[in-house]
Each structure stands twice: as structure tokens, then as C-alpha cells.
Amino acid sequence: MKEVNWLGDIVISLPALKAIRRALPDAHLSVLVKEEFASFFDGAGWVDEVIGYRVSRGPRGLVDRGLIIEGIRNRKHDLAVLFPNSFESALWAVLGGVTSRAGFARDMRGLLLTHRTTPSAEVMRAHQVHYYLEMLRETLGIEGDADDYALDVHEPHRINVRQWLAERRRRPHGRLFVLAPAAAYGPAKEWPADHYAALIDLLDIHEGAECVLAGAPAERAKCEQIAAASKSGAIVGAGEQNIGELIALLSIADGFAGNDSGCMHLAGALGIPTVGIFGSTSPARTAPLGRRSKVIYRQIECSPCLARTCRYGHYRCLTEIGAEEVARSLEQLADWPIIDELA
């Protein structure tokens, strides 16, 4: 059993999960994941079971936690590999009767783990993909490959997404870009909305390209505002796809640009031209995986602050990145010109 929390974490932990599969080829491999992310594994035939869970707020949350623990106990798992650092994830494994529990001894949970280690100073400075791989190596002796991050696309999702696009596209034979203008962490990770509108227009006037604005249901209003602010408009997809369908959408796109977000990590791992725009966070830790990925990062005097909002209110690390630079970066990653007419 493996437990993960956030979309970006799922992508970055894939090399470790695949290492577990290779090391234990005959084991029943279950993945415990928040239910909104469960469709991530729809195309992953090498995962035996995906256990989606939810934890509601208030008294209902106690019931939800009880159901999670009961589900773990009923499956009689022998080993839990805990990728989140939370105390609660380890407690669930203990109460669920899992005999062996591996993870980093953080959040005061060391005594709950049977196989534990602490992260080295080197791995805390390296990309997060190595964080998970070090934990596996030091606790279970399992070696992994940081480049083993390829995503599985569920073909029925791809068929559905193609139909969804066919009903909305103005230029069905033009190029298609996916943009992700929001980030769950907060505005210090979000490139300004007017910059996204400008990028949409730049991509529209070259090669007949169209843009899809992707995101969660709560991000739809922001996407609609950006589409309305652009001269050429865009297809608003936020809230209309689950994660499996979002993977399928990205897999048929010609490129991606967006904030440091789960969507960015999906695009990079799929191997499409991917431009990640970084603000408060550090690309050294969470840059997109993939050889066709590029990060744009303004490391000003206060970067990286890792804050949700700018303590100075200027957001210069983001506002100083122009739409032309993002479009040019997409051009460099692809094998065709996008903005050859720009000075």
C-alpha cells in the first residue's frame, strides 16, 4: 500500500512507485489517494488497486477517518510505504493493522514506523523526486530511477476529450495549447491574469493556435475572466475534466504553460513542450520533470520566499515575466516557430 496526497506529489513520486512495483512484482499494489485524484491511475494497469478517500470537515471527518482505517484493515496489507510526512498517515497504517510501515521519521511519527529514516541535507536541496527515492532506498533497500516518470494515458479518456474539443474548437486543425492560470497554494505562485490573456492572444495570431484554460472547479471563475480579457478568447475547461481526462487533454496538446502546479507536472511528465512559471517556490525542488520542460524564474532579492502571498505586495518575481518570454520558450521547446514575427 502506498499513500500520496497532492497531484504534483503523485507525479513526482511516480519513479518511486514504479520502483516498488519492480522490486515486488508479485505483490498486490494498492495506492491510497484522495478521491479527486483517483482517476490519475485509470491507465496504469501495473497498479492493482486504487483506494480513493475523503476526509470531510467537522464531525463527518471522524466517520471518514474510521472508514479509511477500516478499509485498510480489511485488505490486510503487509507493507505501507508512506510518502506524505504527516503523523496521521502513519497512524492510519498502525490502526489499520499494517505490519510493516516505511517512511521518513517526521511530524513526530518515528515510533509509528517500523522502517524509518531522516532525509539527508543533500536531498533537502535536490529535486523532490530524489526525496522519495532516498526514503525508499534507506528504509527498504529499493533503488529507483529518477527518469522513470512516464504517465499512462487512458484511451477512453482521450476519446472523450477529443469529442469535447470537437464541440468547442474554432480551428480544429490548428495547434492547441493548455494553460493553467491558477495554483492551489496561493497568489504568490500565480502569474498575473492579464499576462495570461496576452499570451493567449500571442499564440492565437501565430499558427492559428487555440488555448484551453485548465484547472479545478474552484478555478473556473478565474479562467473565465482571463478568457474574457483576451481579444481572441479561449476554451474554458476548468472543472470539466477529472484528472484522468486532464492527462488525456494534455497528451494531445502541442504545448503547455502555467504556474508551478499539478497540471504543470502532468504536462512535463507527458513529454510535451512545458513552460513552468515560478514565483514564490524554488524550481530546484519542484521543476517539472521531462526533457522538453523549461522553467522561467526571476530570483529577486527575496526569492524563493515559499509564501502564499507577497509580503511586500509587489509580486515582482511574477510580474516581471512577460508573455513574449513565455511564448518564445514554447517555441524553443518545439520544432516549429510560434512568434517569429516578434521583435
C-beta separation of 200 from 175 below 8 A: no
CB burial of residue 34 (10 Å; 0-12, 13-18, 19+): middle
Question: Does the pLDDT value for residue 305 go beyond 90?
Answer: no
Region of residue 315 (phi > 0: left; psi between -120 and 50: alpha; otherwise: beta): left
Do the domain assignments include residue 149? no
Task: Identify whether residues 133 and 159 lie together within a single domain.
Answer: no
Task: Identify whether residues 160 and 119 lie together within a single domain.
Answer: no
What's the distance, CA 258 to chain centroid? Answer: 11
Cβ neighbour number for residue 38 with a 10 Å cutoff? 18
Do the domain assignments include residue 338? no
pLDDT digits (tens, 9 = 90+) for 8-28: 999 999 999 999 999 999 999
pLDDT digits (tens, 9 = 90+) for 109-150: 999 999 999 999 999 999 999 999 999 999 999 999 999 999
pLDDT digits (tens, 9 = 90+) for 235-261: 999 999 999 999 999 999 999 999 999
Task: Identify whether residues 50 and 189 lie together within a single domain.
Answer: no
Task: Identify whether residues 16 and 63 lie together within a single domain.
Answer: yes
Predicted pLDDT of residue 2: 52
**Which residue among 85, 112, 140 closes a domain?**
140
Do the domain assignments include residue 343? no
What are the phi and psi torsion angles at 301 (to 5°)?
Answer: -60, -25
Do the domain assignments include residue 342? no
Q: Which of 44 and 342 is assigned the larger pLDDT?
A: 44
Do the domain assignments include residue 340? no
Task: Identify whether residues 131 and 163 lie together within a single domain.
Answer: no
User: Could you tell me how many residues make up the chain?
Assistant: 343
Do the domain assignments include residue 305? yes
Task: Identify whether residues 191 and 316 lie together within a single domain.
Answer: yes
Task: Identify whether residues 228 and 109 lie together within a single domain.
Answer: no
Task: Identify whether residues 231 and 193 lie together within a single domain.
Answer: yes
Q: Which domain holds residue 230?
A: 155-333
What is the chain's mean pLDDT, rounded?
93
Between CA 166 and CA 60 the distance in angstroms is 41
Predicted pLDDT of residue 205: 82
Do the domain assignments include residue 48? yes
**Which residue among 93, 117, 140 closes a domain?**
140
Predicted pLDDT of residue 5: 60
**Which residue among 105, 140, 175 closes a domain?**
140
pLDDT digits (tens, 9 = 90+) for 219-235: 999 999 999 999 999 99
Read off the pLDDT band of 339 (50, 70, 90).
low
> Which residue is it, cell 490548428?
174
Share of the chain above pLDDT 70, in %: 96
Task: Identify whether residues 120 and 165 lie together within a single domain.
Answer: no
List, in order, residues 6 or more apart from 68 with CB less than 8 Å away: 32, 53, 55, 92, 96
Do the domain assignments include residue 150? no
Task: Identify whether residues 6 and 121 lie together within a single domain.
Answer: yes
Q: What is the mean pLDDT of residues 167-189?
A: 90
Between CA 47 and CA 303 the distance in angstroms is 39
pLDDT digits (tens, 9 = 90+) for 19-75: 999 999 999 999 999 999 999 999 999 999 999 999 999 999 999 999 999 999 999
Grid coordinates belonging to 194:
492579464
Task: Identify whether residues 166 and 281 lie together within a single domain.
Answer: yes
CATH of the domain at 12: 3.40.50.2000
Question: Does the pLDDT value for residue 343 go beyond 50?
Answer: no
pTM of the model: 0.94
Domain count for the chain, please give it.
2
Task: Identify whether residues 171 and 112 lie together within a single domain.
Answer: no
